[in-house]
């Protein structure tokens, strides 16, 4: 754009990939950060980067999003713009959540994500906290004061890791591991001499020793008593990561469907009778009732009732056929790709069916209609009964 920022264009196939990008400022910060990390000093790219930084400085006072501020702090750090960086970090300091010796940032006026039987920070909050950590640690010379400020942030990020060492999604895992790796590099000790002692009142005792030959290796031990109380003592001169992981199985509770489906077969009759070779109609209505304003791509799978076959591409006669991308015949029936559906909007689909006259069918079973958001775990299933005229 003329301002130097980058404009948002197009649409994501999976809106979960959107992350915290919701305007041209956050998108421009992403692009500018990528260019600065690239380190290309060509005149053309330098000109683009300088114009984008000018736009971001100009927009700084109007930014209210914690996510965008954290990203801008990292951008200005890479650009070595000390004044804009300090202004941004000062605003972030006022928004920081500090509890129990931990520091992180959260989104404004957004509910916490639901995670079933356990709680973990939403991906966006892990990501924005990691960007602040990157802003503190990406200077050419990191002062001791910024390393001290980083400690409670690192502790909070480490607490959000899952048992495999990553985080909730790909995006926050990449950013958080980048920030934690930078912290590990800055606090690296060439010749560490540290020990971790784990013990319990029942007599369990295990020691881990860290030195230059094994400091990058994972050392683990199964705890014999769960639940149980254990005491950990750490001594030495290096930075260590201690993590416990508890795995168990529990039945998942039944979630309410994010879709509503109705399916009805409408026979084509002549004088009240079914005529051989005539096509019959299957009317399907799909509505999205979930929490998001719009779905991603929706996949509709239709299996015909026993004794019937679906007519290829008959969905083109649907009232809103423009909302349908394409269809594919498979062994179960037909899979129809539908464009994103807005919340509470009904999407009608009509298909044609042919009855199998050559091979009479007994003990007929209803067909099934299954709808799912292609990128989300949201789905519903319904049956389409066979009308009495066919029985």
pLDDT value at residue 91: 96
Q: What is the mean pLDDT of the chain?
A: 85
Other CB atoms within a 10 A radius of the CB of residue 90 amount to 10
Residue from 277, 230, 246 nearest 118 by CA: 246
Is pLDDT at 118 greater than 80 in this prediction?
Answer: no
Instruction: Find out whether 264 and 345 touch, Cβ atoms under 8 Å.
Output: no
Q: Is residue 10 part of a domain?
A: no
- Domain range for residue 47? 15-186
pLDDT digits (tens, 9 = 90+) for 23-81: 788 889 999 999 999 887 777 788 889 999 999 999 999 998 999 999 999 999 999 99
Shared domain for 182 and 195, answered yes or no, is no
Contact 105, 96 (CB under 8 A): yes
Q: Which two tokens stand for residue 45?
A: 């790219």
pLDDT in tens, 337-365: 888 888 888 888 888 888 877 776 677 78
Q: How many helices (H) and strands (E) does the chain have?
A: 7, 16
Distant-in-sequence, close-in-space partners of 271: CB < 8 Å, separation ≥ 6? none
- The answer to whether position 234 is within a domain reads yes
Do the domain assignments include residue 4? no
Residues 382 and 273 in one domain: yes
Residue 221, domain member (yes or no): no
User: For position 21, what pLDDT does the model report?
Assistant: 59
In this structure, the answer to whether residues 373 and 281 fall within a common structural domain is yes
Closest CA to 382 of 254, 263, 256: 263
- Looking at the fold, whether 81 and 147 belong to one and the same domain comes out as yes
Strand 194-200 relative to strand 367-373, pairing: unpaired
In sequence order, what are the residues at sequence separation of 6 or more whose Cβ sits closer than 8 angstroms to the Cβ of residue 123?
19, 113, 167, 168, 169, 171, 172
Q: Is residue 380 part of a domain?
A: yes
Query: What pLDDT is recorded for position 265?
Result: 85
Which has more pLDDT, 304 or 70?
70
**Token pair of 199, please?**
């013990």
Peptide bond before 258: cis, by omega within 30 degrees of 0?
no
238 shares its domain with 271: no
């Amino acid at each position: 754009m003329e301002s130097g920022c980058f404009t948002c264009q197009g649409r994501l196939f999976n809106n979960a990939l959107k992350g915290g990008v919701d305007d041209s400022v956050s998108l421009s910060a992403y692009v500018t950060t990528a260019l600065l990390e690239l380190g290309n000093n060509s005149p053309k790219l330098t000109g683009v980067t300088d114009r984008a930084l000018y736009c971001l400085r100009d927009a700084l006072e109007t930014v209210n999003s914690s996510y965008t501020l954290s990203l801008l702090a990292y951008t200005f750090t890479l650009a070595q713009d000390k004044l804009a960086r300090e202004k941004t970090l000062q605003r972030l300091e006022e928004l920081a959540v500090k509890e129990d010796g931990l520091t992180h940032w959260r989104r404004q006026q957004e509910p916490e994500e639901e995670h079933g039987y356990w709680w973990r920070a939403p991906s966006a909050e892990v990501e924005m906290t990691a960007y602040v950590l990157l802003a503190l640690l990406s200077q050419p010379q990191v002062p001791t004061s910024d390393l001290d400020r980083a400690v409670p942030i690192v502790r909070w990020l480490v607490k959000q890791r899952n048992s495999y060492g990553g985080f909730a999604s790909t995006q926050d895992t990449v950013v958080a591991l980048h920030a934690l790796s930078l912290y590990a590099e800055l606090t690296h000790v060439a010749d560490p001499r540290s020990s971790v002692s784990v013990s319990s009142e029942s007599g369990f005792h295990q020691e881990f020793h860290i030195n230059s030959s094994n400091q990058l290796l994972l050392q683990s031990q199964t705890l014999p008593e769960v639940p149980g109380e254990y005491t950990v003592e750490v001594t030495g001169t290096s930075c260590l990561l201690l993590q416990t992981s508890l795995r168990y199985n529990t039945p998942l509770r039944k979630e309410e469907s994010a879709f509503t489906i109705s399916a009805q077969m409408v026979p084509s009759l002549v004088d009240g009778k079914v005529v051989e070779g005539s096509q019959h109609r299957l009317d399907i209505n799909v509505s999205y009732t979930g929490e998001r304003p719009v779905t991603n791509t929706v996949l509709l799978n239709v299996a015909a009732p026993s004794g019937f076959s679906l007519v290829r591409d008959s969905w083109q006669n649907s009232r809103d056929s423009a909302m349908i991308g394409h269809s594919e015949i498979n062994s179960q029936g037909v899979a129809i790709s539908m464009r994103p559906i807005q919340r509470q909007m009904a999407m009608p689909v009509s298909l044609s069916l042919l009855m199998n006259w050559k091979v009479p069918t007994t003990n007929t079973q209803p067909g099934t209609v299954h709808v799912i958001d292609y990128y989300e775990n949201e789905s519903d299933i319904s049956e389409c009964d066979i009308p009495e005229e066919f029985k």
